Amino acid sequence: MLKINEKIQISDKNEPFVIAEAGINHDGDFDRAIELVDVAFESGASAIKFQTHITDMEMIPTDMKPGNISEESLWDIIDRCVLSSDQEKELFNYCKEKGILFFSTPFSREGADRLNELGVELFKIGSGECNNIPLLKHVAQFKKPMILSTGMNDIESVKNSVDTILNEGCELAVLHCTSIYPAPPSTMRLGAIKHLKDTFTELEIGLSDHSLGISVAIGAVAMGANILEKHFTVSRQWPGPDNPFSIEPHELTSLVNSSKEVWQARGGKKDILSDEQPVIDFAYACVVTISDVKQGEKFTMDNLWVKRPGTGSILAKEFEKILGKEATENIPQDTQLTKSMFK
């Protein structure tokens, strides 16, 4: 179990913890950030997560572009999407008023310090920082729960990061992630959820999902994921590099509701439920006579078969055991056999 506070615990016994990932989908517009909070709350998401950027503290000046995500330089994107310390504080307080958990991903020591001073109850570490041991140690010193994404890292790298955080005395959850934007379903490898669960048996495991739509995320719950993180937006027409592959409000609501349904259906074993008895009564077949049978007559395929309902004492699976036995009394056609009727 990962305990965030007295009201929020993540475990197999609780509904999936659905993180509405706002990220930088506000594109630096504070009013849009507020709108994203409203959508996350109305969808029923467990929390909303932003990204805390202080551009010159997390990168050196560069013209590098973020892969195939945008033609704009990474520096320009991040610098445009920065929210000030005062704006983050206002967001934090607004989330508290709404009743939805606020947390964020820091990309620098300074960003982590700001969030800690703000009073966040939880830290998120993005995949790009998964193997950033200095930053992991810096965040872990706050002794607050952490959720670690693991895109672009193999299991040995993840083990090293997990050990680093746990050795600092922090509670931790781990998310499988594919760092492709968007990620085709064939790259999602949901089997990695089991790999992580088998490797880190004491930790909560989830999925940070960059695929289109919500199908893969819902499937992850069936695989045992207790945390789902999904980029969302008010409209995919909003400007910003992540909006085109984000889900919209109705999809976020569907994700929250569907994840709960799959969670309720998860687990169990192949046995018969007591609630199935009413259907058993009419759907099962029992051994019945298909013609009049006289006392002493042997049961054969000509006078015995199986028919509904399933309320008799001898079920269809016992049929072959009765063939060749003798009737102990006269039995009319369409009679459900009982054990006293043959020997």
Residues 6+ apart with CB under 8 A from 118: 88, 89, 92
CA distance 207 to 259: 12
Query: 194 Cβ partners below 8 Å, 6+ apart?
Result: 223, 224
Where does residue 164 fall: left (phi above 0), alpha (psi -120 to 50 degrees), or beta otherwise?
alpha
pLDDT band at 146 (very low <50, low <70, confident <90, very high): very high
* pLDDT at site 68: 82
**Over 90: is that where the pLDDT of 330 sits?**
yes
> Please, what's the b/e burial string for 187-216 (b: 16 or more CB within 10 A of its CB; e: otherwise)?
ebebebbeebbeebeebbbbbbbbbbbbeb
Residues above pLDDT 70, as percent of the chain: 100
pLDDT tops 90 at residue 137: yes
Residue 14 DSSP SS3: coil
The pTM (predicted TM-score) of the whole model is 0.93
Q: How far apart are CA 219 and CA 73, in angstroms?
A: 35
Contacts of 130 (CB under 8 A, 6+ apart): 148, 149, 150, 151, 152, 153, 157, 158, 161
Report domain extents, the chain.
Answer: 11-265, 274-341
Task: Label residue 91 by pLDDT band (50, 70, 90).
Answer: very high
Instruction: Please state, rounded to an integer, the average pLDDT across all residues of the chain.
Output: 97
The structure tokens listed for 277 are 């008895």
CATH level 3 topology of 274-341: Type Iii Antifreeze Protein Isoform Hplc 12 (3.90.1210)
**What's the rounded mean pLDDT across residues 287-297?**
98
What lies within 8 Å, CB to CB, of 9 at 6+ separation is: 1, 2, 3
- Written as six digits, the tokens of 320 are 């072959």
Express each pLDDT in 110-136 by its tens digit.
999 999 999 999 999 999 999 999 999
Q: In this structure, what token pair is assigned to residue 108?
A: 């620098």
CATH number for the 11-265 domain, one of 1.10.357.10, 3.20.20.70, 3.40.50.620, 2.40.37.10?
Answer: 3.20.20.70
Amino acid at 269: K
